[in-house]
Amino acid sequence: ALLCLCHPPGADPQGLAQALALGADLPLWLGTQQQARWRASRDWLEGLRPLVRRRQPAQLLECLVESTDLLPVWLGTWGGEQRAANLRKLIELARDPRLSGAGVADFTRRLQEMVDQPPEDAQAALMGEEAPVVRLMTIHQAKGLEFQVVALADLAFRPRHTAPLLGPGGVMGQKAPDPLGGPARPTPLSQALLARQRAVEEAEAARLFYVAVTRARERLVFCLHGAAAPDQGYWGRWVGQYVLPDPLAQVIPAQNLELAPGSATAPPALPAPVEAGSGPQDRQAQEIIQRCLRPQPPALALVSESVSGLEDWLACPRRHFFTRRLGLDTAWLAPAGQGGSGLGGAGATALGSAVHRVLEITDLAQGPAGLEPALASLDLAPELAGQVHLLAAGWWDCGLPGLLAAAGPGELAREQGFCLLLPGQPGGPDVELIGEFDLLVRPAQGPALLVDYKVTAEVAPDKYRAQMAIYSLALWRGQGAQGPPPRAFLCYLAQSGARLVEVSFTPEQLERWQGRVLQAGRAMAASQVQARPLDLPAGEGCLPQACALARAGLCAGAGPQGADVKF
């Protein structure tokens, strides 16, 4: 079945991820059982896909384990205990911010780098170092450890050279082919390179041999093929030369190591199976089995969300569902029944992004003249470049230069990223907010200033009040909530001109907004991953005519009295 998914008839080979994304089906001749398995797996993976954006790598791995029978199946197979321990070790590695980075993509990339780099990472320990067990380890894995008894196996091994011999500067020493069909004949160059390579190998073998023999505290055991064997390898030869002549060395023939027949103890008898009944123990067992088969998803200890994502949730959890869980860009939505492509909204988004980028890289001290080199570096289409220039030039006409005139060197930052961690309330998760300030001034004296650009002619400060409150809260908390809160401004840039509007908050207002943020984080953590939009409440004061989702026919919104309308 997996082969059919990767090599569909009449199509180019593809991977399982591509087959999953395309919704591929199995051939009918594979039978209904395989079809059902593939559909169930596909539905399960698709249901987990939204978690990639919402959870950290460790949380996602835990959810994968909790939603499958992976651990019970492994623990019932040979070596399953080690596999389960390795999985737990992987989850602990995923908690390390140096490995998990910014999310799942960083984690998988860095994990692949670890896999590709020798030596291989040691398997997870099942017991403590002093446990009476036998450990099979490479020399690299044993480095730095000591054991009571160490046994070194396969001392006759030596590498065989099949690849061409390479010397300094890329010199290649290949044996000369025999024109009569016999074995290849060595040349002086190939012999010299072979001797050089053997010297390098012998030095490396000696280094590893030293590490290996210094791991033992009380007894060191060498497994030889016989002292008189012609080809012992480096280690075997050194044991014969330096270890066997030692008066403390003891040679034990292999036949003396064999167990006598019947010496092994018989395994204990298994208890007789108990017939299922209707007693209290049987009912309790059934309840335990059902909990194992249908585990509850682990509670989120941390909700990590962008400022725009939190703004979507505060405005309408349903909008958050479409934009954050399903990845829908509302800029591409066309009004219902018009059949448009939504390019107008997408074009506005591209225009706004270009204006933000130009204002980020322009030398503001040069005035509007500094826009020309900034636009030239972006290589925009002429029509778009003209619009961007007209809109960005409004920056110098709305009062911002005078407001920022007192900013000293190093006090002004543009597109400054931030991350704010708010400790959760009792019983609720912590909330991590990630965002970016368009323009930030942190003077040595007085409150900080933050400015957010809006490329629109509609001056509606209340529409962005939640966003500005979160920005102000992040900056204020980042200063330890000491001193006055920052002054926050919306800079509206439109073809008809620019306008600057202040939207600032008192400490008491920011405290209330922090409570709203933590409450929203608790609601996000409690929402079901498999929820439907109808399962979530509509936004307060939902007006379908003002909602892009409602206009596109995706969400009917709520009536004036808040009564939900079916989707």
106 within 8 A of 100, measured Cβ to Cβ: yes
Rounded CA separation 236/226 (Å): 9
Taking the CA atoms of residue 324, residue 325, residue 326 and residue 327 in that order, the dihedral angle to the nearest 10 degrees is 30
Q: How far apart are the first and last CA of the chain?
A: 37
Closest CA to 452 of 442, 444, 460, 464: 464
Mean pLDDT along residues 248-257: 79
Token pair listed for 438: 């368009």
Residue 356 has pLDDT above 70, yes or no: yes
* For range 137-149, the mean pLDDT: 83
- CA-to-CA dists, residue 260 to 134, 251, 483, angstroms: 22, 20, 83
Helix axes 32-48, 57-66, angle to 10 degrees: 150
How much is the pLDDT for 80? 79
Token code pair at residue 309: 């994502």
Handedness of CA 59, 61, 64, 69 (dihedral sign): negative
Spatial distance between the Cα atoms of 118 and 413, rounded to a whole number of angstroms:
42
Which residues, including other chains, have CB under 8 Å from residue 69's CB and lie 6 or more apart? 293
pLDDT band at 1 (very low <50, low <70, confident <90, very high): confident
**Residue whose tokens read 């931030």:** 418
Q: What are phi and psi of 292, to 5 degrees?
A: -70, -40
- More confident call, 536 vs 170: 536
Question: Is 356 in contact with 415 (CB distance < 8 Å)?
Answer: yes
Q: CB 221: neighbour CB atoms within 10 A?
A: 12
Over range 490-500, report the average pLDDT: 91
Burial class (CB in 10 A: 0-12, 13-18, 19+), 194: middle
Under 8 Å between Cβ of 209 and 157: no
Q: Which residue has the higher pLDDT, 350 or 563?
A: 350
Q: Is residue 542 very low, low, confident or very high in pLDDT (cuts 50, 70, 90)?
A: confident
Higher pLDDT, 370 or 275: 370
Q: Are the CB atoms for 489 and 500 separated by under 8 Å?
A: yes
For residue 500, give Cα distances in angstroms to 141, 171, 354, 489.
Answer: 63, 70, 20, 7
The residue count for the chain: 567
Q: What is the mean pLDDT of the chain?
A: 78
Q: What pTM does this model have?
A: 0.49
- Distance set, CA 330 to CA 427, 538, 551, 554 (Å): 34, 17, 11, 11
Reported as a single tens digit per residue, the pLDDT across 402-437 is 888 777 767 888 888 888 888 887 777 888 888 889
Distance CA 248, CA 475 (A): 72
Q: Please give the residue that has the higher pLDDT: either 341 or 334.
A: 334
The fraction of the chain above a pLDDT of 90, given in percent, is 10
* pLDDT tens digits, 69-120: 888 888 878 777 888 888 888 888 888 777 777 678 888 888 888 777 765 5
Peptide bond connecting 230 to the previous residue in cis, omega within 30 degrees of 0: no
Residue with tokens 């067990």: 133
